[in-house]
Amino acid sequence: MATQAHSLSYAGCNFLRQRLVLSTLSGRPVKIRKIRARDDNPGLRDFEASFIRLLDKITNGSRIEINQTGTTLYYQPGLLYGGSVEHDCNVLRSIGYYLESLLCLAPFMKHPLRIILRGVTNDQVDPSVDVLKATALPLLKQFGIDGESFELKVVRRGMPPGGGGEVLFSCPVRKVLKPVQLTDPGKIKRIRGIAYSVRVSPQMANRIVDSARSILNKFIPDIYIYTDHMKGVSSGKSPGFGLSLVAETTNGTFLSAELASNPQGQGAAVLPEDLGRNCAKLLLEEIYRGGCVDSTNQSLALLLMTLGQQDVSKVLLGPLSPYTIEFLRHLKSFFQIMFKIETKPCGEELKGGDKVLMTCVGIGFSNLSKTLK
């Protein structure tokens, strides 16, 4: 970890997770002011407070100061400790909100992380656990994070607003990360998916599958969408259904899309047929954007490249999302690292949207608490 570096100061509630995660990895304290200062209900929301409590559980010696109204937060990071943890996530955001940040931190713990997260597994805001399992885990494997204990398992599903889902995530620790050269996405070879339904008729999932296949069959024959109907205690507390689709390419790239039904009592009812069709279209749009990493995991890939050995890493991405652009700015302020960004206009060989080739030299980050075995 870095020595007591000067703290960074930010204003506003946006990108809170990015700032806290990068602060923890770089060892630099961070101060965030004016968190929703002009709002009718000022300060940190419950789901953000829950995220800060989670960081406190997986680190050792973190100092967190929040003022009375919750509009100012000072975070001085401790050492990443890991071990066995349980956490009840806030039901306003899904487990994906918390898991995205855990994926960034888990390889650098002192003890391998084994965490049980409870709350909402699938919602309309954050990436669901299914999508993270299908896309983020293979991405981490490219960087050399793999092993027996590397898994993400949905024990119970929980839909908003009630929640009641449960997820088990375990990850081995690594001393250093491998540099990567992900420059050729390859061609789509198969599409897999999960249509899930909880506390509604199991027929809902079959209707979703039929409508999604009606669109995707025109493009590729190798499509298999599993139906997952959970019953009883493992179905959480609220009814709902949804679909997550993942396209795999010949070079081991995964692109994903997902949709979930409206929460009980909010908005109009969604027909499973419409949901299936719309999700298939979203997947085709993601394939059009292309790249070697899908838009949900762009920032994770860039972070792992930054923390790699002092060697060149390259990755080809689709158009950068606004979240990723802000993440690049944060990487610059926390780690003083700049990426070389080359635009690759879609020529004959690169079908789809314009691509961006990101190149950087890793900072040689090594996990100090992992002793050499």
pLDDT of residue 2: 43
Tens of pLDDT, residue by residue over 237-276, are 999 999 999 999 999 999 999 999 999 989 899 999 999 9
The phi and psi torsions of 343 (rounded to 5 degrees) equal -85, 135
Of 1 and 345, the one with more pLDDT: 345
DSSP state of 93: S
Tokens of 232: 């009883």
- Average pLDDT of the residues in 353-362: 93
List phi, psi (to 5°) of 264.
-55, 125
Going by pLDDT thresholds of 50, 70 and 90, the confidence category of residue 353 is confident
pLDDT of residue 35: 95
The position carrying tokens 């049980």 is 116
What pLDDT digit, counting tens, does each position of 183-226 carry?
999 999 999 999 999 999 999 999 999 999 999 999 999 999 99
Mean pLDDT of the chain: 93
Among the listed residues 228, 108, 70, 63, the one whose alpha carbon sits nearest the alpha carbon of residue 159: 228
pLDDT at 350 over 60: no
Helix, strand, or coil (residue 186): coil
| pLDDT band, very low/low/confident/very high, at 372 (cuts 50, 70, 90) | low
Q: Dump pLDDT digits (tens) for 160-188.
A: 999 999 999 999 999 999 999 999 999 99
pLDDT band at 50 (very low <50, low <70, confident <90, very high): very high
**What's the pLDDT at 171?**
96
The confidence band for 347, taking pLDDT boundaries of 50, 70 and 90, is low
What residue has token string 């995205």? 100
Total number of residues shown for the chain: 373
The reported pLDDT for the residue numbered 346 is 74
Distance of alpha carbon 121 from alpha carbon 133, whole angstroms: 12
Q: Contact, 351 vs 92, CB < 8 A?
A: no
Task: Work out the pLDDT band at 370, boundaries 50, 70, 90.
Answer: low
158 pLDDT higher than 90:
yes
CB 227 within 8 A of CB 206: yes
Task: Note whether 201 and 235 are within 8 A (CB).
Answer: no
What's the whole-number mean pLDDT along residues 32-58? 96
What tens digit of pLDDT does each residue of 317-328 get?
A: 999 999 999 999
The amino acid present at 373, given as its one-letter code, is K
pLDDT of 373: 45
Share of the chain above pLDDT 90, in %: 90
Instruction: Find the mean pLDDT for residues 52-68.
Output: 96
Radius of gyration of the chain (CA): 21
pLDDT at position 349 is 60
In sequence order, the 6+-apart residues with CB closer than 8 A to the CB of 257 are 244, 245, 279, 282, 283, 285, 286
What's the pLDDT tens digit per position in 8-39? 999 999 999 999 999 999 999 999 999 999 99
Residue 46 φ/ψ region, left for φ over 0, alpha for ψ in the -120 to 50 degree band, beta for the rest = alpha
C-beta separation of 42 from 69 below 8 A: yes
Beta strands (DSSP E) in 157-216 are: 165-171, 181-182, 188-198
**Residue 287 and residue 292: Cα distance in Å, rounded?**
10
Integer Cα distance of 75 and 24 in angstroms: 9
Q: In what order do the strands lie in the sheet with 355-361?
A: 181-182, 312-317, 355-361, 340-344
| Beta-carbon-side half-sphere exposure of residue 249 (alpha carbons within 13 Å) | 20
Mean pLDDT of 102-126: 96
Helix (H, G, I), strand (E, B) or coil at 68: coil
